[in-house]
């Protein structure tokens, strides 16, 4: 009998400290949304191009953090790496507040991005080690809820502080991240028994599948590349598409993000609870189908603007299904020794989509127009769906996709 929603929520107790730390830290992301205007206000000698260079270094640092997280976790342990990430963000934003030299700001911004991004793959890895497989997808949805709640609160607080003084933004960020480090340091993380069993960490994932773990991981990464490309588009080019291409007011951009945020905050936990009985394969294919339909519909905003909101609801449904099941699958197919590394590669994969998606899509939009361009995005997602359907038919490229008994737990 499938446990009820209340029981699944109670099952998050082993990671409650982590969820709180993630929510507090994301609620403290105050400087970054205003970073460009903060530099323009506080550093009058900086040109627009120079500010763009400085802000862009955050993304480069984030990619380095993704790739470095696995190696650091192997040497220090996941919890310590996350605490170092929190403390690193606090220290770097305070250093930025007093830095005056251009290359000092460039280096500090890259370090800020590195420390910020360290926490993401490590948080997913800590969930993977602390939550039984049958509840893991629900737990990943809870992490996303903590992130999205925080990201809704942080910019709101930042806007208020900015009106009083831009100089308050680094301090607000630093205080919140110091509080997050303290919360996580005090948290009592409950880890599954056998999570660090060296004998079981050579080739077999949590799904019990044997063989070459690299084949499973890289097959999955290749098949899901269209997802990261497509879901980078709303945040990177959504405003350009609506305002410049469709000639609609900025309110429609706000409405798109409002629909997306509202659905994630109110529906994602319940949706993933309802789908826990489905295999990872079926869940991902359903999410892929929703994503393809939703992004194709985005092109028909040229016909009726309100279709943008319908499209957003559809691709958001796909997002709520896809993004909890992907780390769940990576956890299942990764040996214990590779979990942190593979989570880092997973988050780097997403960030690479953020970098390259607008570079490819905007020229396409300019040449082909709205309907054709978004249809190509949908078609690319259908190719990814078919690739996922193919690799999921073989244990060698997918692993074992079936429920397993809940393991015993041991506290550490």
Cβ atoms of 284 and 388 closer than 8 Å: yes
**Pairwise CA distance, residues 371 & 295, whole Å:** 10
CATH for the stretch 213-404: 1.20.1250.20
Q: Is it true that domain 5-192 has CATH number 1.20.1250.20? A: yes
**Pairwise CA distance, residues 28 & 26, whole Å:** 5
Torsion sign, CA atoms 147, 325, 355, 362: negative
> What letter does residue 411 receive in the DSSP assignment?
E
Tokens 């969820």, located at residue: 19
- Is 192 in a helix, a strand, or coil? strand
State the span(s) of the chain assigned CATH 1.20.1250.20. Answer: 5-192, 213-404
Encode 170-198: b = buried (16+ Cβ within 10 Å), e = exposed.
Answer: bbbbbebbbbbbebbeebebbbbeebeee
CA distances from 394 to 27, 137, 305 (A): 42, 22, 43
Per-residue pLDDT of the chain (412 residues; tens, 9 = 90+): 566 778 778 778 888 899 999 999 998 988 887 888 888 877 657 777 788 788 888 888 989 998 888 889 888 888 999 999 999 999 999 999 988 888 899 999 999 999 999 988 899 999 888 888 888 888 999 998 998 888 888 888 888 888 888 889 899 999 999 999 999 999 887 676 554 433 344 444 544 455 577 889 999 999 999 999 999 888 878 878 888 888 888 788 888 888 998 999 899 999 998 888 889 999 999 999 999 999 999 999 888 889 999 999 999 999 999 999 999 999 989 888 888 899 989 988 888 888 888 888 888 888 888 899 999 999 999 999 999 999 999 888 898 876 544 444 444 3
Query: What is the phi/psi pair of residue 12, to 5°?
Result: -85, -5
> What letter does residue 29 receive in the DSSP assignment?
-
């Amino acid at each position: 009998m499938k446990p009820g929603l209340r029981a699944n929520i109670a099952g998050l107790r082993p990671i409650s400290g982590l969820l709180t730390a993630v929510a507090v830290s994301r609620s403290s992301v105050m400087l970054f949304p205003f970073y460009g205007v903060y530099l323009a206000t506080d550093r009058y000698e900086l040109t627009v191009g120079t500010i763009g260079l400085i802000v862009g270094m955050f993304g480069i640092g984030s990619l380095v953090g993704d790739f470095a997280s696995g190696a650091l976790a192997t040497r220090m342990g996941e919890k310590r790496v996350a605490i170092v990430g929190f403390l690193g963000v606090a220290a770097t934003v305070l250093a930025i507040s007093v830095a005056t030299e251009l290359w000092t700001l460039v280096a500090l911004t890259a370090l800020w991005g590195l420390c910020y991004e360290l926490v993401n793959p490590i948080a997913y890895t800590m969930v993977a080690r602390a939550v039984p497989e049958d509840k893991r997808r629900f737990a990943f949805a809870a992490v996303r809820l903590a992130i999205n709640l925080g990201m809704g609160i942080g910019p709101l607080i930042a806007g208020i502080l900015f009106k009083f003084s831009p100089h308050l933004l680094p301090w607000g960020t630093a205080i919140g991240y110091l509080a997050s480090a303290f919360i996580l340091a005090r948290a009592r993380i409950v880890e599954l028994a056998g999570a660090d069993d060296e004998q079981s960490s050579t080739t077999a994932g949590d799904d019990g599948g044997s063989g070459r773990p690299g084949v499973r991981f890289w097959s999955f990464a290749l098949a899901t590349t269209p997802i990261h490309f497509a879901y980078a588009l709303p945040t990177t080019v959504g405003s350009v598409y609506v305002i410049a291409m469709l000639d609609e007011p900025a309110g429609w951009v706000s409405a798109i993000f409002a629909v997306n945020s509202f659905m994630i905050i109110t529906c994602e936990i319940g949706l993933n609870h309802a789908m826990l009985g489905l295999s990872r394969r079926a869940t991902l294919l359903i999410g892929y189908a929703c994503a393809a339909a939703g992004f194709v519909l985005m092109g028909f905003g040229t016909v009726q603007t309100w279709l943008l909101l319908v499209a957003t609801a559809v691709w958001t449904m796909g997002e709520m299904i896809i993004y909890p099941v992907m780390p769940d699958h990576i956890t299942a197919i990764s040996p214990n020794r590779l979990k942190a590394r593979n989570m880092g590669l997973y988050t780097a994969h997403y960030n690479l989509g953020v970098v390259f998606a607008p570079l490819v899509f905007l020229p396409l939009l300019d040449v082909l127009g709205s309907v054709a361009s978004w249809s190509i995005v949908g078609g690319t997602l259908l190719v990814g769906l078919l690739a996922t359907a193919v690799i999921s038919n073989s244990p060698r490229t997918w692993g074992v996709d079936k429920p397993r008994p809940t393991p015993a737990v041991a506290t550490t």
